[in-house]
Amino acid sequence: MKRPKTYTAKPNEIRASWRVVDATGNILGRLATQIAKTLQGKDKPVYTPNTLTGDYVIVVNASRVRVTGRKETQKLYYKHSGYIGNLKTFTLRDLMEKHPDRVLRLAVKGMLPTNKLGRGMLKRLKIYPGETHPHASQVSQNTTER
């Protein structure tokens, strides 16, 4: 009895499309999981774990994302320069005021694999705090060559 062969997506067979996500009123973690699945390509039938099968994701209105509970004051982000005694701490509220795109980028980054493939996926994520983005031509074509 012959077994059916498992399909494996090859990099030259995959066409990545562009998706636009509006973050207005969405909860941060739930939005980040949807974006991470799209970047990984887990929502496609040709998903292959060792190949970059995901799509490009453009997030607009990142400054209007919501959080639940008391995370605005209790959730902390850390930044270290490498020098002794130079650990900086920021609350979610401070980071949302200055760089609302970083909050969403860090949430998605934590849900992606920590290897070369994950870094390639994160490069496909474009986040903008406002309504406009410079990728209108890619979205209108909706496909791109790699």
Domain boundaries, the chain: 15-67+99-141
Per-position b or e across 19-43, b if 16+ CB within 10 A of its CB: bebebeebebeebbeebbebbbbee
CATH superfamily for 15-67+99-141 is Ribosomal protein L13 (3.90.1180.10)
Query: What is residue 80's three-state secondary structure?
Result: strand
pLDDT attached to residue 140: 72
Tokens of 95: 């980071």
Of the candidates 50, 40, 19, the residue with the CA atom closest to the CA atom of residue 126: 19
Mean pLDDT, each 10-residue run in order, the chain (146 residues):
86 92 96 98 93 96 96 96 96 96 97 97 97 89 46
